[in-house]
Structure 1
Amino acid sequence: MKHLIRFFSAFFLTLVLVAAVGCASTQTQEGTGEYVDDSVITSKVKTAIFSEPSLSSAEINVETFKGVVQLSGFVNSRADINKAVAVARGVGGVKSVKNDMRLK
């Protein structure tokens, strides 16, 4: 009976460790927690950009990977690009902003 309990304990511990390693992040892949954090950051940046009156009609796409926000799409002026980058930088959790926006 003791051997059976030890076997199941070892098996359960191994299963937990494998699951934890499977959720870990690498340089090119996010962990589960980072994915959720990035989704929240993306939503906050999109909301902040949409709430900005001068940017609400712009076609700006937002993607986030490990706290780095990438802005892409089309805007009407250089001022709109600068404003969108400034708004994105002002959102909590944003480590840096990559600008890939283009003028219409």
Structure 2
Amino acid sequence: MKPILVATLVALGALATTGCAVTSGQSTVGQYVDDATVATRVKARFAEDSQVSAMRIQVEALKGTVQLAGFATSQAEKDRAGQIARAVPDVKEVRNNIIVKPASN
């Protein structure tokens, strides 16, 4: 039950922080909703994965292109985040801009 609750909270947070502005010429309301859904799915899968921190990695989507940003504690975490994002339905491309910054002791 806890993983589902965490995934739901992360998904709601992702929707709340993506904003609601649809800029003329950028995308339609339908495309915006699709992009928000894709980003939410990626964040939810991060929350379910034990190797990836959904809290340190931001996800944005535009017309099926997902951009990942934030920090990972290892190259393996960065790579896993990219794999997860690529496996989400409707993701056409992943731009993995996560910075690897080992945790300080």
- TM-score, normalised to structure 1, is 0.71
Aligned to 1:91, the other structure's residue is in SS state coil
Q: CA deviation at 1:57?
A: 6.2
**Which residue, 41, 45, 53 being the options, matches 1:44?**
41
Q: Stretches of 4+ moved more than 6 A in 1?
A: none
Question: How many residues are treated as equivalent by the alignment?
Answer: 79
Tell me if 1:103 matches 2:81: no
Residue pair 1:41, 1:64 contacting (<8 A) in 2 also: yes
Q: Please tell me the root mean square deviation across aligned C-alpha atoms, in Å.
A: 1.7
**Which residue, 85, 89, 92 being the options, matches 1:88?**
85
Residue pair 1:38, 1:64 contacting (<8 A) in 2 also: yes
- TM-score, normalised to structure 2, is 0.70
Structure 1 or 2: more helix by fraction? 1
Counterpart mapping for 1:1-104 below 5 A = 26=25, 29-56=26-53, 59-104=56-101
Quote the Cα distance in structure 2 between the aligned partners of 1:59 and 1:93: 23
Segments of structure 1 that go 5 or more residues without pairing to the other structure are 1-22
Identity across aligned pairs (percent)? Answer: 39
